[in-house]
Amino acid sequence: MATNPLTVERLGQGGGPGVLCLHGPLTMENVLPFLHAVRREENAESVILDLTEVPYVDSSGLGSLVSACVSRQKAGRRVALSGVNERVFRLFEITKTESLFLIFPTIDEAIAALSGAAQA
C-alpha cells in the first residue's frame, strides 16, 4: 500500500537548535528521509522535530523517532518535538514512550526551552 511521501524541511541556519519540519506521515515507507535528515544534524547541540504536518506515525516511524532520540541523548545532545497532534501523542502514551521526548506545543516554545537550558 503506497502512502503519501514524507518531506523534511530544515528551518534556519547556524546558531540555535536545528529545526526539522516533517510534512507527511512517518511510516515504514518514509523513515529513510527522516533518518537521513536527522543524521545531517549530528553536530547540532539540539534538534527540534516539528510534527505539526505529520498526520500519523506507524510502528516503524515510532521506532525511528525513539532511535533518533536515544542515540542523540547518548551523545549528550537533545531532541525536542513540537506540534504533536492528539493521534500521535496517543501513540506515545499507549507505547509508554512519551517520557522519552521533550514535547512542546510550538517550535518557538521548544526553541525558548532549549535555548534557556543551554544558557543555564
More confident residue, 119 or 111: 111
How many residues in the chain?
A: 120
C-alpha cell at 97: 514512550
pLDDT above 70: residue 118: no
Residue 24 to residue 94: CA distance in whole angstroms: 22
The reported pLDDT for the residue numbered 17 is 87
- Arithmetic mean of pLDDT over the chain: 91
Query: Domains of the chain (ranges plus CATH)?
Result: 7-119 (3.30.750.24)
Helix (H) or strand (E) holding 20: strand 18-23
